[in-house]
Amino acid sequence: MTQTFLLKGDVCRPGPIEVEKGTTLRRIVEELGGGMAGGRAFKAMQIGGPSGGLLTEAQLDLPLDFKTLAPFGVRRGDGVITVLDEDRCMVDVTYRFLLATQTDFCGKCVSCREGTKRMTELCRDLLECRTDDADAGMLLELGEVVRMTAFCALGKGASHTMDAASIAFGDDFQNHLDGRCSLCEKETRPPVEPGDGVPYDKKQIRIDPDKCKGCSRCARSCHAQAISGELKHPFAIDQSKCVKCYTCMELCAFGAIGEVTVDG
């Protein structure tokens, strides 16, 4: 059984990949991705988009299994794997993923909508070396508040990348607090761009009636109450209520739920 992901970032062969069950993160980088581009060393890997989690070299030999990776804040999310090399500043990376929350999240939840906006502003100030320890502490505290109060899995995971980056790569954050970051100063490449490039309003989560077994697990897990149906019959998603949090996709044992790109 394989799963499809979009591999992005600082690897030699970015693009769609088919990952077999049990494949390690190291094999994804070194074999499926062709290794690190430009001869640079591996630094981190982000999986799952804005609400996903950040992994370091210490986790490279773990399999791409979301039960195994759950303690690290990793979820399938948008199915994007972003690999980062040693020259990427993790403050900049954190800012880019927080910025993505402003376009990829639905905005229905006040704590997420306003909380992630303020987090993005604080992280931008940190990136521009215009903040102090108190503001940096507020940034981390806001992440905790949003995680505890957000409506769906997107908001609850919005601070995962930031939290992991601040712990594993604290020197990058301290450099910005001190007013100078050598990584940012020498970086000439385009910044990391999270996501698959498809606008939020062009995405839909749909249930394939031919694969759906009518178990109701998706409906019972949907915080937006967007999924309905009868047991042992195909369920359906009300697109006007769906917030595209991917929770139903991650829970479906039959591969019946997927994301599609729509026109109009």
| Mean pLDDT of the 143-165 span | 94
| Mean pLDDT of the 26-54 span | 96
CB 11 within 8 A of CB 37: yes
State yes or no: pLDDT of 156 exceeds 90.
yes
With a CB cutoff of 8 Å and minimum separation 6, the contacts of 192 are: 9, 82, 84, 88, 92, 93, 96, 97
**pLDDT recorded at residue 1:** 74
State yes or no: pLDDT of 84 exceeds 80.
yes
**pLDDT recorded at residue 108:** 87
Domain annotation for the chain: domains and CATH numbers: 2-85 (3.10.20.600), 90-186 (1.20.1440.230), 200-261 (3.30.70.20)
**pLDDT recorded at residue 107:** 85
**pLDDT recorded at residue 215:** 97
As beta bridge partners, residue 257 has 207
| Mean pLDDT of the 125-144 span | 96
**pLDDT recorded at residue 213:** 97
**pLDDT recorded at residue 109:** 87
Type of residue found at 6: L
Q: Collapsing DSSP states into helix, strand and coil, what is residue 223?
A: coil
Dihedral sign for Cα atoms in the order 57, 62, 64, 67? negative
pLDDT tens per residue across span 46-78: 999 999 999 999 999 999 999 999 999 999 999
pLDDT tens per residue across span 226-242: 999 999 999 999 999 99
State yes or no: pLDDT of 131 exceeds 70.
yes
**Which of 148, 218, 193 is closest to 49 using CA atoms?**
193
pLDDT class of 264 with cuts at 50, 70, 90: low
State yes or no: pLDDT of 17 exceeds 90.
yes
